[in-house]
């Protein structure tokens, strides 16, 4: 989880707000990492936009950019308070003392910070933005923009914020249980993945899927997005140390190595299964590895981090087959990569967590002689997050479908969301005859 109880700095009681002693080096580091996390959402937009057909590319980018605006507002108004205020009861959700960021500059309940509290607010805000944007990969090509705006606004408050409280707040019940989640395997990856599965079941498949070929229209755009995500992920995970020290360095190295491992694992299996190693496979494998290391970056040594990436690359590639077997149209494989990758990484913490990396590890991983205790706590986090995020999002989706509607019409889907939802096109093609005349 982002520093909180899993950083080296001591944590006070959950009902206290410790004074803030600002360190300029830590502040500068986290500000840079905050900018890198912001970069991830446009990176995700490009990553997804290249994978859809050309008539939907602007709609994909627009949805990610809309998340930046929507979630920024909901987080400031109420989301931050529900996630990080003193517990309102049972470790399930925070109170309302920090609504509108009132009193937020005084500190974060239960957490010793060496950065200004508002930097922490912004850093966590951008986690919430990215998590919401991940949903767009599952609902691609068929969701009304107005409905998407309402969905994200409500989802960021009633689904994301409570899960963030569970795992990231010292008051949260999963945190008190002893779940180790350094940067959001449960809160970001599994929460978005389970929610994505619920949404695709409510929405139904794209028209023509799986009979029609719906190949990516611009793989260079996808690779650009993957590159931006990889850069941003360093800030996402290493910044979660909230200090510019050895823990941040360890998390940065683990993050990079797991991305490398994911690419290797995915491409090796893809080559064996199809005879070809593809650029889309390279990008997808790297992302799978980066997803898996998210909960583990601050707890694993370098070689286990590389191994986690390899395992995630292999498992996530196999997981893509599930949507064809069970007939759910997860358009851009959010479930296979983010949910499954998040599960792999969260459970691997219970296998490889090392006290030498982070003194907050009280029970080392199974493979380091720590027994099954930590693995059991990680499993509880997986099951609880999956069940809540899926159920809450499914109910929300059904309510919105029954009231304002979710899907575009068949004609709008056929025309493309770029024109039907935004009255724009991504590409203006000039005919050969026109080009000839322009040079005549």
Q: Tally Cβ neighbours within 10 Å of residue 359.
A: 11
Phi, psi of 423 (to 5 degrees): 55, 40
Question: What pLDDT, on the 0 to 100 scale, is given for residue 432?
Answer: 52
Q: What do you get for the CA distance between the two ends of the chain, in Å? A: 64
SS3 of 67-122: HHHHHHHHHHHHHHHHHHCCECCCCCCECCCCHHHCCHHHCECCECCCCCHHHHHH
Structure token digits, residue 66: 């809309």
CA dist 398 → 201, 204, 339, 388 (Å): 10, 12, 21, 15
- Where residue 18 falls among pLDDT bands split at 50, 70, 90? confident
Question: What pLDDT, on the 0 to 100 scale, is given for residue 41?
Answer: 98
Burial annotation 298-323 (CB, 10 A radius, 16+ → b, else e): bbbbeebbbbbbbbbbbbbbebeeeb
Least confident of 102-111, 203-212, 232-241, 411-420: 102-111
pLDDT at residue 226 is higher than 50: yes
Contact assessment for residue 104 and residue 121, using Cβ atoms and an 8 Å cutoff: yes
Least confident of 10-14, 145-149, 219-223: 10-14
pLDDT at residue 414 is higher than 60: yes
Find, among 304, 218, 319, 224, the residue nearest to 266 by Cα: 319
Phi, psi of 207 (to 5 degrees): -65, 125
- Where residue 430 falls among pLDDT bands split at 50, 70, 90? low
- Where residue 20 falls among pLDDT bands split at 50, 70, 90? confident
Mean of per-residue pLDDT scores for the chain: 94
Contact assessment for residue 348 and residue 311, using Cβ atoms and an 8 Å cutoff: yes
Question: What pLDDT, on the 0 to 100 scale, is given for residue 434?
Answer: 46
pLDDT at residue 329 is higher than 80: yes
Say if residue 210 is preceded by a cis peptide, omega within 30 of 0: yes
Phi, psi of 107 (to 5 degrees): 145, 180
Contact assessment for residue 297 and residue 182, using Cβ atoms and an 8 Å cutoff: yes
Average pLDDT over residues 13-20: 63
Least confident of 1-5, 140-144, 297-301: 1-5
Question: What pLDDT, on the 0 to 100 scale, is given for residue 16?
Answer: 64
């Amino acid at each position: 989880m982002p520093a909180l109880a899993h950083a080296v700095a001591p944590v006070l009681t959950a009902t206290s707000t410790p004074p803030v002693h600002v360190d300029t080096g830590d502040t500068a580091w986290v500000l840079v990492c905050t900018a890198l996390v912001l970069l991830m959402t446009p990176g995700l937009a490009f990553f997804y936009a290249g994978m859809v057909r050309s008539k939907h590319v602007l709609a994909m980018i627009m949805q990610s950019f809309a998340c930046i605006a929507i979630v920024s507002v909901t987080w400031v108004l109420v989301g931050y308070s529900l996630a990080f205020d003193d517990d309102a009861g049972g470790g399930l959700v925070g109170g309302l003392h920090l609504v509108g960021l009132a009193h937020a500059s005084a500190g974060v309940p239960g957490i010793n910070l060496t950065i200004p509290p508002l930097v922490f607010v912004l850093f966590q805000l951008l986690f919430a933005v990215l998590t919401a944007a991940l949903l767009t990969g599952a609902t691609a090509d068929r969701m009304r923009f107005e409905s998407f705006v309402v969905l994200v606004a409500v989802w960021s408050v009633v689904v994301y914020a409570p899960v963030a409280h569970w795992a990231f707040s010292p008051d949260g019940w999963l945190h008190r249980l002893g779940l180790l989640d350094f940067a959001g395997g449960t809160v970001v990856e599994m929460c978005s993945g389970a929610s994505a599965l619920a949404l695709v079941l409510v929405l139904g498949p794209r028209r023509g899927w799986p009979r029609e070929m719906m190949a990516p229209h611009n793989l260079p755009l996808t690779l650009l997005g993957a590159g931006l995500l990889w850069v941003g992920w360093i800030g996402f995970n290493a910044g979660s140390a909230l200090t510019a020290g050895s823990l941040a360095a360890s998390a940065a190295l683990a993050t990079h190595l797991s991305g490398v491992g994911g690419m290797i694992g995915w491409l090796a299996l893809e080559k064996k299964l199809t005879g070809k190693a593809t650029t889309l496979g390279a990008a997808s494998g790297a992302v799978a590895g980066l997803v898996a290391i998210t909960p583990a970056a601050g707890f694993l040594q370098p070689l286990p981090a590389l191994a986690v990436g390899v395992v995630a690359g292999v498992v996530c590639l196999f997981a893509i087959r599930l949507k064809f077997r069970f007939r759910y149209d997860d358009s851009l494989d959010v479930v296979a990569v983010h949910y499954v990758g998040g599960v792999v990484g969260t459970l691997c913490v219970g296998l490889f967590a090392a006290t030498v990396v982070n003194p907050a590890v009280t029970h080392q991983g199974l493979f380091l002689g720590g027994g099954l205790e930590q693995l059991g706590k990680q499993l509880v986090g997986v099951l609880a997050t999956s069940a809540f995020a899926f159920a809450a999002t499914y109910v929300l989706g059904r309510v919105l479908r029954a009231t304002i509607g979710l899907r575009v019409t068949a004609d709008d889907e056929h025309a493309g969301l770029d024109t039907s939802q935004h009255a724009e096109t991504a590409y203006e093609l000039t005919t050969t005859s026109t080009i000839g005349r322009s040079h005549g």
